[in-house]
């Protein structure tokens, strides 16, 4: 008799739990439209090698490359309008700190949305804009594994773009948690010493820019309200 009571208690609990999940999907606490704000923090890491030391007058000849595996920590704010449960449009502002003692302040147009009108839904975003360089230090540093090269990573402003995909978990009609994996490109330059005299001050003299794209992959978590 005691075993039957335990069995029925477990069965009733399972039914109630399943019913609550179904109810949450059929009666989602999802914002329909209105002003939308998202505050996020993110961590990213460089994922490629950056070519430099292109010899003047010798097109396509490259002397060296450097690993652009730079850790980046950022804080961002999205401000926009949600037109439906599936789409929103706005502008974003970031502060990105590159751990090689440089920083950027991107300003961009941001389009984002959810694929389903449920409390837990796949979420995506795309943004495109311009990142203003914030100079923290102008002192170059020596590349690891190559004692002859002194550089400044990310030394100029440039265009940027970012693509993210993850999920949104609504906790109320006016608040949700958003977690996304993302890929990012940043147009900037590597400033370096090109080997010309005077050799004795090469650690302080970086006199050449190699322009290109830095590429990053990362993870972002934010609060939507």
**Residues 37, 65: one domain?**
yes
16-30, 42-56, 109-123, range with greatest mean pLDDT: 109-123
Residue reference for tokens 């914030």: 134
Domain containing 121 — which CATH number?
2.40.160.20
Q: How confident is the model at residue 16 (pLDDT cuts 50, 70, 90)?
A: very low
Return the pLDDT at 122: 97
Question: Measured in whole angstroms, how far is the alpha carbon of residue 83 from the centre of its chain?
Answer: 24
pLDDT above 70 covers a percentage of the chain that reads 73
Per DSSP, the residues of 150-202 read EEESS-S-EEEEEEEEEEEEEEETTEEEEEEEEEEEEEEEEEE--SPSPGGGT
Question: Measured in whole angstroms, how far is the alpha carbon of residue 148 from the centre of its chain?
Answer: 32
Return the pLDDT at 195: 59
**Residues 58, 117: one domain?**
yes
Q: What is the mean pLDDT of the chain?
A: 81
Q: How confident is the model at residue 48 (pLDDT cuts 50, 70, 90)?
A: confident
For 199, the domain range is 32-224
**Rounded Cα–Cα distance for residues 189 and 75 (Å):** 22
Is the predicted pLDDT of residue 212 greater than 80, yes or no?
A: yes
Mean pLDDT of 82-91: 95
Return the pLDDT at 12: 44
Phi-psi group of 147: left, alpha or beta (phi > 0 → left; psi -120 to 50 → alpha; rest → beta)? alpha
List residues bridging with 88 in a β-sheet: 82, 112
**Residues 101, 8: one domain?**
no
Q: Report how many domains make up the chain.
A: 2
**Residues 75, 119: one domain?**
yes
DSSP tally for the chain: helices H, then strands E: 1, 12
User: How do residues 198-208 score in pLDDT, each as one tens digit?
Assistant: 555 555 567 77
**Residues 23, 56: one domain?**
no
**Residues 15, 45: one domain?**
no
**Residues 147, 217: one domain?**
yes
**Residues 149, 62: one domain?**
yes
**Residues 20, 93: one domain?**
no
Return the pLDDT at 133: 94
User: How do residues 153-199 score in pLDDT, each as one tens digit?
Assistant: 898 999 999 999 999 999 888 899 999 999 999 999 888 776 555 55
**Residues 151, 179: one domain?**
yes
**Residues 109, 18: one domain?**
no
Structural contact between residues 122 and 165, judged by C-beta atoms closer than 8 angstroms = yes
The Cα angle at residue 107 between residues 36 and 83, in degrees rounded to 5: 25
Return the pLDDT at 88: 97
**Residues 98, 161: one domain?**
yes
């Amino acid at each position: 008799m005691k075993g039957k009571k335990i069995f029925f208690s477990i069965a009733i609990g399972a039914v109630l739990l399943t019913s609550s999940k179904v109810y949450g999907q059929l009666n989602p606490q999802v914002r329909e439209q209105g002003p939308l704000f998202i505050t996020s923090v993110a961590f990213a890491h460089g994922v490629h090698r950056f070519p430099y030391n292109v010899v003047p007058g010798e097109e396509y000849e490259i002397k060296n490359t450097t690993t652009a595996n730079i850790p980046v920590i950022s804080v961002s704010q999205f401000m926009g309008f949600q037109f439906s449960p599936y789409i929103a449009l706005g502008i974003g502002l970031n502060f990105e700190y590159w751990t090689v003692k440089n920083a950027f302040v991107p300003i961009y147009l941001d389009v984002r949305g959810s694929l389903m009108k449920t409390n837990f839904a796949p979420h995506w975003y795309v943004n495109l804009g311009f990142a203003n360089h914030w100079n923290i230090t102008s002192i170059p540093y020596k590349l690891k594994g190559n004692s002859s090269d002194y550089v400044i990573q990310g030394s100029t402003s440039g265009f940027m773009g970012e693509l993210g995909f993850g999920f949104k978990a609504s906790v109320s009609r006016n608040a949700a948690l958003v977690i996304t994996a993302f890929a990012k490109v940043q147009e900037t330059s590597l400033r370096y010493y090109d080997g010309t005299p005077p050799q004795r001050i090469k650690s302080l003299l970086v006199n050449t820019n190699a322009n290109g794209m830095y590429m990053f992959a990362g993870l972002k978590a934010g609060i939507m309200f």
